[in-house]
Structure 1
Amino acid sequence: MTVNNIDRDAIAHGKITEKPLRDRPKHPTWVLKLSMAVTGLLFAAFVVFHMVGNLKVFLPAYEDGSRPINVYGKWLREMFYPLLPHEAMLWIFRIVLLAAIILHIYGAFVLTGRSRKSRGKFRRTNLIGGMNSFTSKTMLVTGIVLLAFIIFHILDLTLGVAPAAPTAFEHGHIYANMIASFSRWPVAIFYILAMVVLFLHLSHGIYLAVSDLGITGKRTRAVMLALSYLVPAVVMIGNISIPLSIALGLIH
């Protein structure tokens, strides 16, 4: 903010200044919010797609003994082959998601820093309360927990790196790897808790994205806000059912 009606005497005595209250940021806040909204919705679409694929663990084996989830994993690796090299499309997805998560994390920390700097010693009070306020205040914490979960998940079921992954891990054997991993109760419990955290983070993230993308129509906004709870709830229940069923011995 600058002074429009300049009082030269006041400036001379140091009572007011023509300088902005703060330097112009390198990346405008609206750009960071927009990037977080877009990348957040990208993650939401990915977790839904990922959950649907993982639920194939419940399907019975084919007549030849192969497991549907293993066939699905093979399909992912061979997508658009031979038009594209083997696993090329899978790596494109991974690179896009990696770039998106870097942008999302960067935006989260920068916006949090700006918010705290702008408030100074003052803190938000008289919030409306309830689930929305709780998820709003814990977005950074739940985001950090999810980042730790993503790293563990990759080490466990993608790369097979011990001690995150079980000693019986074999690349390409998705069904057997899931059984071996989730048969460990501490790992199963960690996955279940992570899905609860995902619900909290994703529900408020979609809520914020609706606002940041300028969706203001009353009916459209109402539908989107309903989906902001419905979609994360479906993802949470679907993903929890997998480690819980394996840990209880319902799938073996």
Structure 2
Amino acid sequence: MTVKNVDRESVRHGKITEQPLRQRPAYPTWAMKLVMAVTGLIFALYVIGHMVGNLKIYMPDHSGVAAINEYGVFLREMGTPLFPHEGLLWIIRAVLVVAVIAHIHGAITLASRSRQSRGKFRRTNLMGGLDSTATRSMLITGVVLLAFIIFHILDLTLGVQPVSPSEFTHGDVKGNMIATFSRWPVTIWYVIAMLALFLHLFHGIRLAASDLGITGKKWLQVVAFLAAVIPTVVVLGNIIMPLSIALGLVS
């Protein structure tokens, strides 16, 4: 063990040591948690905006052009002429990629430090219910969401087959969504991923608030409310779309 008032005789016999129990990490845990919180909030804002944009699939066509296709054009042209065509979109993508890498690195590092600190002891006697389920499954839901992000990019952004349907056409957002969600296995996979997103957001929002120093009773009540409402709205909005297409309600 490590002590302040050193007994030199005990040190000489190896009973105690002046050395720290563990080396100081290059990045302190509080900094890693801060990175996790900030990148997590970036993702939360992104999925909200992404859901709102995708809901345009239910809006009527404008001059023969699907509303969601107009939204796709807006994403590619936003920021012009200050930025080149798709310039701002690529900046947003770059920020998201960096955030994903930082979030994954933080998750792996914190999980490793947690295991080292607990040693042979493991977390037990959790209260049960949704809170405990979300807490226990953070790493699992994170892996599912990473797989979903990769699949989603190959499917509806790049149009890489066989992940993407053979009818994929760059720029035709509505047509591509209808083509991909007409495949029931893909629709089911999206629903599973959204359920994982619900659990991840539910616990992640609370965790981010804590790591950012939000501890007041009233603020914690607000956070608890948002942690329940935001994941519910986002997940329902994202599940309705593929199911509507798979059931033939949108064509």
Q: TM-score range by the shorter chain?
A: over 0.9
| Partner residue, 1:179 | 178
Q: Report the alpha carbon displacement of residue 2 of structure 1 after superposing the two structures with TM.
A: 4.3
| Partner residue, 1:86 | 85
1:1-252 aligned at under 5 Å gives the runs 2-62=2-62, 64-252=63-251
TM-superposition CA deviations, 1:70-96 (whole Å, max 9, x none)? 001101100111111000000000000
Q: Report the alpha carbon displacement of residue 217 of structure 1 after superposing the two structures with TM.
A: 1.2
**Whole-Å Cα distance in 2 between the matches of residues 12 and 133 of structure 1?**
47
**Whole-Å Cα distance in 1 between the matches of residues 140 and 23 of structure 2?**
28
Amino acid at match of 1:189: I
Amino acid at match of 2:96: L
Instruction: Specify the SS of the correspondent of 2:163.
Output: coil
Q: Report the alpha carbon displacement of residue 26 of structure 1 after superposing the two structures with TM.
A: 1.2
8 Å Cα contact 2:56/2:67 also seen in 1: yes
Instruction: Specify the SS of the correspondent of 1:112.
Output: helix
**Whole-Å Cα distance in 2 between the matches of residues 58 and 143 of structure 1?**
30
Amino acid at match of 2:123: R
TM-superposition CA deviations, 1:101-156 (whole Å, max 9, x none)? 00000000000011011111111112222111111111001000000000000000
Amino acid at match of 1:209: A
Instruction: Specify the SS of the correspondent of 2:159.
Output: coil
**Whole-Å Cα distance in 2 between the matches of residues 57 and 211 of structure 1?**
37
Q: Report the alpha carbon displacement of residue 169 of structure 1 after superposing the two structures with TM.
A: 0.3
Instruction: Specify the SS of the correspondent of 1:141.
Output: helix
Q: Report the alpha carbon displacement of residue 3 of structure 1 after superposing the two structures with TM.
A: 2.0
8 Å Cα contact 2:2/2:16 also seen in 1: no
Normalised to the residue count of structure 1, the TM-score between the two structures is: 0.98
Instruction: Specify the SS of the correspondent of 1:144.
Output: helix
8 Å Cα contact 2:187/2:246 also seen in 1: yes
Q: 129-138 or 230-239: which moved more?
A: 129-138
**Whole-Å Cα distance in 2 between the matches of residues 237 and 8 of structure 1?**
66
Amino acid at match of 2:83: L
Amino acid at match of 1:162: Q
Runs of 4+ in 1 over 3 A off after TM superposition: none
Instruction: Specify the SS of the correspondent of 2:33.
Output: helix
Instruction: Specify the SS of the correspondent of 1:37.
Output: helix
**Whole-Å Cα distance in 2 between the matches of residues 35 and 225 of structure 1?**
21
Amino acid at match of 2:247: L
